[in-house]
Structure 1
Amino acid sequence: MGGTGKGGAGTGEARNGEAANDGAANDGAANDEAANGGAANGGAASSEAAKGEAANSEAANGEAANGEAANGEAANGGAANSEAGNGEAANSEAANGGVASSEAAKGEAGNGDLANGEAANGGAAIGPLMLNEVPALLAAWNRAFGGGLVNFEPRTLAAWEARFAHNPAGLRSMVARDGEDIICQYAADPQRARLHGEEVTFAQVVDTFVSPDLRGGLAGARLFLRTARAFFAEYGAASGDVLYYGWPVPAARRLGVAQLEYTMTDRLLLLGREVPGGGTRDCGTGPPNPVATAGPGPGDASRGASGPGEAVEVWGAAAWPELATEKLFEACTADWDACVVRDSSWFKRRFQGRPGSQYQLLSMGEPRSPRALAVLRHGDWPLANTMTIVDWLVPPHESEAGELLAARALDLARAAGAAALVTHFPPRSVWFERFQAAGYSVHATDLFLVTRPFLRRLEPIWLRDHLWLQLSDTDLV
């Protein structure tokens, strides 16, 4: 769980060294998923079909839900670097030869789903990451994700600490060791979450890898499975984590469905439009263009930054104000049955606490009592030179505020020379409809949300229809 790949609406993405070089043979999109399983637990069908956009083929080919594991398919993909956190990499995960079909069918784990440092079959000791092992982990991570990549930026200790060590929800990392070397990791980023009004913990699976020396064969795949199972035993229901989720590359997706109780839950849909007067885009050989030339939309008129009524304030990455978002979050969550809590500390950690990341904040009202907020990032996902609305915290009844924020976002995209403006909302959201009415088109990517719940009531169809996730809940941007 967690990694996007070369064909996953993020071709060649190399943000902060999070490469997308997946080696999964671009086979995760439409037609190869189901393997005699049909569109079992709701998959990607009905939500994609919402509003009739870009969804006619999603469920038709049987890609959705639990069908991937049918007939004992183990996923031609081994364990490789496939999970690595939403766009982080899948460096040549062994497109053929991951887990033998007999292992997939029988659910063998290789005589040793071990934790707490006990030695497993191949001499590897599996247990939770110790803080004194972080330098060894970084060396292994940089080797796993950076091999052969020209623009790779090695992860630093400061970046790791900002992302994981300073997380108030704690650290979730299971590693396999060969002596002092780390040769496999299965990890997640836990977040405070809300489920039916109660506080719980959700966690996005990220940074999962197997040493390049072990890719392509049974040894690496078995080690990956042992490490993952030890992770779930240590941190799943026992620690109170009720849901793990991610957008894995195809190889990891198939392996997880076959062996780790992953469930395909929904396809990632993007809303996008071209920026009038913006830059040019080099599509190369990447995925289909997620934006189509659209008619006039928010920001095309001459009202500029604000228009009638309240102004939209823009804050650069180095000058974010002190936010108090709790009341605004509560106003937005009336229709959110399951979501990550977007309080002030979450905004600070997610957008200000990541070295090298540049996010712009758009706000209406006083920062300590905002009426509406949006976060932008200019980068190369899903295509080169794209402005992305990463997070959108606007109550459904604030249609005017939403229109003004969208207008300002388009103005900023134009000023930055961006070729496109892209965002994501769950298809049930009123904003999914409003952005289409404003000229945005819908594009179905080849990324699928995969979930691993630890509460029985979190069924895939329910999660598809009730789980609120935005691009800020991914590592894509």
Structure 2
Amino acid sequence: MAEPGDEQRIFDAYAHLFEGDVDAPAPSPPTAATWTWRQAANPAGARVLLALDADEVVGLVCASGQPVLVNGEAARISRVDDIRIAPRFRHALGRPGLVVRMGEAWERAFGGMELDLISWGFPTPAAWRVLNWHVKVQAVRTQFKLVGQLEHLRIGEAGGLVAEPVERFDDDVEPLCARLAEGRGLTLARDVVWLDWRFRQRPDQSYDQAVVRRGGEVVGLAVFRTGDFDGDRNVGLVCDWIVAPDDDGAANALLAWLAERARAAGCERLVLLLPETSPDWRPLQDRHGFLALRLAKRFLLADRSYAKQMRMHWLHQSWHYTFADTDFA
């Protein structure tokens, strides 16, 4: 595992670890502020594994711990953000090489009932082939996105409800998040500590946040920012969407606010990321005019399970997530 003080050599390793990867060209290394936010400041803890050849970093797995509820019980999972192996240590002639040893080390360090129930992510096609064959990573689903062209959105009456912009979420959002988590199997445990870390403290992005109240009670929340996603430039990303599927008034109030923010930013469409099994999926299409489109890139949601209840079929049916769970937004 990585130790304090390893940050600079991790940053220095980024370019050569991505060398030759046509699916994922070498990114800029994270800034010190972003790295601290993602790892040291993460309320669910850091997940970093290094493979060293002498003092050289030749393998890297970075993940973000995530607090979740599994059938109402608190647990943890981890979202894998980067898996990188130096070219000379990648598999060849059918030999898996370093990736298998790192997978085994990862499971010992982070996987299990008392640790992370699953590790998951959206692997590149090349990474998926290796991870599926050698590290028991399974495909949960082919991922779709919901796209709403602003000119075609259907936004009905909100019954006097209005989305109120907020600088930060207060603890009055927690009852709504807890109530909607009931019956959803696996979902993020959204409390104000996690929400504040995810959206307000992030140093490299800024977000707009809003809540809808009915009689003083929070009945909906949404998070918005602009960005590029899946080859589409300057779209309105609905980074979080928490509202009861049958609460048309709250949903209409949130959509009116999201459409207003998107137009002000020069966007032509809103994009959400949800599983097609989500209770929000059909209402957004049938009532509001969103279209379901398969992701063009990194379209496979995959996981490595370390607990018996985390079966692929159960995850497919019971796992609820939004952009907030991912590193896409």
TM-score, normalised by the number of residues in structure 1: 0.62
Equivalent position of 1:466 in the other structure = 318
Amino acid at match of 2:257: R
Deviation at 1:179, TM superposition (A): 2.3
Equivalent position of 1:416 in the other structure = 265
Distance in structure 2 (CA, Å) of the matches to 1:176 and 1:392 = 38
Confirm whether residue 297 of structure 1 aligns to residue 149 of structure 2: no
Distance in structure 2 (CA, Å) of the matches to 1:189 and 1:396 = 29
Confirm whether residue 159 of structure 1 aligns to residue 34 of structure 2: yes
**Contact 1:142 / 1:155 at 8 angstroms: preserved in 2?**
no
Deviation at 1:146, TM superposition (A): 9.0
**Contact 1:137 / 1:182 at 8 angstroms: preserved in 2?**
yes
1:189 pairs with one of 64, 68, 78: 64
Question: Which range is displaced more, 414-423 or 322-331?
Answer: 322-331
State the secondary structure of the residue aligned to 2:309. coil
Distance in structure 1 (CA, Å) of the matches to 2:25 and 2:280 = 39
Deviation at 1:457, TM superposition (A): 2.3
Confirm whether residue 431 of structure 1 aligns to residue 280 of structure 2: yes
> CA offsets per residue over residues 36-70 of structure 1, 9 Å max, x none?
xxxxxxxxxxxxxxxxxxxxxxxxxxxxxxxxxxx
Q: How many residues align?
A: 322
Distance in structure 2 (CA, Å) of the matches to 1:442 and 1:179 = 49
Where does 1:313-462 land on structure 2 (aligned, <5 Å)? 313-315=164-166, 319-320=167-168, 322-365=170-213, 370-382=218-230, 383-437=232-286, 438-446=288-296, 447-462=299-314
> CA offsets per residue over residues 313-357 of structure 1, 9 Å max, x none?
124xxx435454321111211231111111111111111222111
State the secondary structure of the residue aligned to 2:6. helix
State the secondary structure of the residue aligned to 1:159. helix
Deviation at 1:369, TM superposition (A): 5.3
Where does 1:15-414 land on structure 2 (aligned, <5 Å)? 128-141=1-14, 143-144=16-17, 153-212=28-87, 214=89, 217=92, 221-237=96-112, 239-276=114-151, 294=152, 296-298=153-155, 308-315=159-166, 319-320=167-168, 322-365=170-213, 370-382=218-230, 383-414=232-263
Distance in structure 2 (CA, Å) of the matches to 1:239 and 1:335 = 23
Distance in structure 2 (CA, Å) of the matches to 1:151 and 1:212 = 13
Distance in structure 1 (CA, Å) of the matches to 2:134 and 2:303 = 13
Amino acid at match of 1:414: R
State the secondary structure of the residue aligned to 1:251. helix
Amino acid at match of 2:238: I
> CA offsets per residue over residues 115-140 of structure 1, 9 Å max, x none?
xxxxxxxxxxxxx1111212211211
Distance in structure 2 (CA, Å) of the matches to 1:346 and 1:457 = 25
Distance in structure 2 (CA, Å) of the matches to 1:259 and 1:215 = 12
Distance in structure 1 (CA, Å) of the matches to 2:19 and 2:195 = 29
Distance in structure 1 (CA, Å) of the matches to 2:312 and 2:113 = 22
**Contact 1:210 / 1:220 at 8 angstroms: preserved in 2?**
no
Distance in structure 1 (CA, Å) of the matches to 2:171 and 2:204 = 21
- Greater gyration radius: 1
**Contact 2:77 / 2:119 at 8 angstroms: preserved in 1?**
yes
**Contact 2:207 / 2:224 at 8 angstroms: preserved in 1?**
yes
**Contact 1:203 / 1:243 at 8 angstroms: preserved in 2?**
yes
Task: Identify, as 1 or 2, the structure richer in strand.
Answer: 2
**Contact 1:191 / 1:201 at 8 angstroms: preserved in 2?**
yes
State the secondary structure of the residue aligned to 1:320. coil
> CA offsets per residue over residues 74-109 of structure 1, 9 Å max, x none?
xxxxxxxxxxxxxxxxxxxxxxxxxxxxxxxxxxxx
Distance in structure 2 (CA, Å) of the matches to 1:193 and 1:150 = 32
Deviation at 1:415, TM superposition (A): 1.6
Distance in structure 2 (CA, Å) of the matches to 1:320 and 1:212 = 44
State the secondary structure of the residue aligned to 1:325. helix
Unaligned stretches of 5+ residues in structure 1: 1-127, 277-293
Amino acid at match of 1:415: A
Deviation at 1:465, TM superposition (A): 0.4
Distance in structure 2 (CA, Å) of the matches to 1:400 and 1:369 = 14
Distance in structure 2 (CA, Å) of the matches to 1:192 and 1:232 = 18
CA RMSD of aligned residues (A): 2.7
Deviation at 1:167, TM superposition (A): 2.0
Distance in structure 1 (CA, Å) of the matches to 2:303 and 2:28 = 29
> CA offsets per residue over residues 173-206 of structure 1, 9 Å max, x none?
2111122221111232111111112111111112
Deviation at 1:170, TM superposition (A): 2.3
**Contact 1:332 / 1:396 at 8 angstroms: preserved in 2?**
no
Question: Which range is displaced more, 147-156 or 440-449?
Answer: 147-156
Distance in structure 2 (CA, Å) of the matches to 1:185 and 1:150 = 16
Amino acid at match of 2:234: N
Amino acid at match of 2:250: A
TM-score, normalised by the number of residues in structure 2: 0.89
Unaligned stretches of 5+ residues in structure 2: none
**Contact 2:148 / 2:270 at 8 angstroms: preserved in 1?**
yes
State the secondary structure of the residue aligned to 2:255. helix
**Contact 1:146 / 1:154 at 8 angstroms: preserved in 2?**
no
